[in-house]
Amino acid sequence: MKSYNQLEPAIFPVQMEPNEFWETTLAQKHALGSVFKDTWGRTWRYAKFAGDLSAGHLVQPAALVNITTTEGYAVSNVAAVIGPDGETYAIKQAIIPVTSPEWTPGAYAGCLGITSDGTGEGQYFRIRTNTATTLYLEEVLTTAITAAGTAELLFMPSNKYKDVVIGAYTTLGIAGPAIGSVQCDVDFSEYPYGWILTHGPGVGILDTSASCTIGTPLSPSSATDGQLIRSTFTTTAPENVVAKLITVADDTITNKEAIVDYCFE
């Protein structure tokens, strides 16, 4: 019989195996986004990784997909459809762009969609599955999407902890919200499921742009993906503080792993 760590109850209660925070697995063990607080007061989130990461890397949700058409969409009611996985699904509506796309079958299954332009702008819908040319929805649209003329669809994961990727940088900081830090080396092709740290002390990677002293507020790097940089709080490039430096050798560190206090939650 396995023994489990008896730690503080989670918001979504989960049973933890010893050392589970420092391992990744091939099979999913918990609901994505499950929260756990350990006896140190640290907060963790369960996630599925979509890229090779190193301990201390910041992660963000999977990239959004924006599809624009100037010829509109055909929307039709359907009773059922056989999905790319061979399963039969009860479907309410289908969206078919007039200009045939070349989607990867099943790529948007479980995603949320939003009409970001044209008739029905701002309307959300959930995608049950998709073929190379058609989106199959779980519900009927409240407002019909433009049949002709410019319209845009924006797809996003329904769970931001699904297929998380290394935080990408821009000149103004991270390109997308940082949602946590991975604390072990991850090879997504073999072991895609694991925990990210969202609050409390853990490993962080500092970039080479500036040395940091103890107590320095840290933001996502504006130079290197997945790393942390000293916050400068400039008015032209406002920064999102996500951590504070706790301890380093000789009070100064550059381009090394450090102990930081995360504050995503």
SS3 content of the chain, % helix, strand, coil (to 5): 0, 40, 60
The answer to the question of residue 35 being in a domain is yes
Tokens of 51: 């890229």
Compute the distance between CA of residue 183 and CA of residue 204 in angstroms, rounded to an integer.
8
Note whether 76 and 111 are same-domain residues: yes
The answer to the question of residue 178 being in a domain is yes
Residues 261 and 198 sit within 8 Å (Cβ to Cβ): no
Compute the distance between CA of residue 75 and CA of residue 147 in angstroms, rounded to an integer.
8
Give the model confidence (pLDDT) of 209-237 as tens digits.
767 888 888 888 878 889 988 887 654 44
Note whether 145 and 187 are same-domain residues: no
Query: pLDDT below 70 — which residues of the chain?
Result: 1-14, 18, 63-71, 116, 146-152, 157, 170-176, 210, 233-239, 248-255
Domain boundary among 157, 178, 201: 157
- DSSP of 23-91, one letter per residue? --BSS--S-TT-EEE-TTS-EEEEEEB-S-B-TT-EEEPPPPEEEEESS-EEEEE-SEEE-TTS-EEE-
The answer to the question of residue 153 being in a domain is yes
What residues form DSSP beta bridges with 196?
A: 45, 182
Note whether 184 and 73 are same-domain residues: no
Residues 60 and 99 sit within 8 Å (Cβ to Cβ): no
The answer to the question of residue 235 being in a domain is yes
Note whether 151 and 212 are same-domain residues: no
Note whether 107 and 55 are same-domain residues: no
Give the model confidence (pLDDT) of 169-199 as tens digits.
765 555 567 899 999 888 887 889 999 999 9
Residues 206 and 184 sit within 8 Å (Cβ to Cβ): no
Note whether 139 and 209 are same-domain residues: no
Note whether 101 and 140 are same-domain residues: yes
Note whether 141 and 230 are same-domain residues: no
Compute the distance between CA of residue 98 and CA of residue 153 in angstroms, rounded to an integer.
13
Residue numbers of the domain that contains 114: 65-157
